[in-house]
Amino acid sequence: MYGLLMSAGWCKEWEKENNKNFYDTFEEFMKDNAYDTIVKHKDGIFCLFDGRDGRYIIIGKVLRKSEDDYPFLGSGEPVVVPEIEMADQAEIEDSVYRHFGVEGDFHYYFVTRYR
């Protein structure tokens, strides 16, 4: 995933400032299924919450999802995360700013799913 890491506290601050529920407002950016290999982005952007501890949110673009339900348990193939062109990075950063009003240091993130 290429995106911007935000603290869960940022969401709470956003809710206070805007007097709205973050999830209800941006629900269309969070519609995805961990078991589906197809990523459902809204305008190229997806919000990934730390579902285990609720400490962070990554806002950006999922570049690749595993096609194996347990890729970390011996699928035999490493996961290759493609680098994207600078123009694509800028497009993602602009889209995040346009929809969420935030900017900062964008990075590549490798995220695994917990059960």
Q: How many CB atoms lie within 10 A of CB 104?
A: 12
Q: Tell me the whole-structure pTM to 2 decimals.
A: 0.81
d(C-alpha 78, C-alpha 66), whole Å = 10
Q: How far apart are CA 85 and CA 20, in angstroms?
A: 35
Token reading at 69: 């339900």
Output the six-digit token pair for 89. 């990075």
109 residue type, one letter: Y
4 band by pLDDT with thresholds 50, 70 and 90: very high
| CA distance from start to end of the chain | 20
pLDDT tens figures, 57-97: 899 998 877 665 555 555 666 767 778 999 999 999 999 99
Query: Do residues 2 and 60 make contact, with C-beta atoms less than 8 angstroms apart?
Result: yes
Range of weakest confidence among 5-9, 59-63, 70-74, 108-112: 70-74
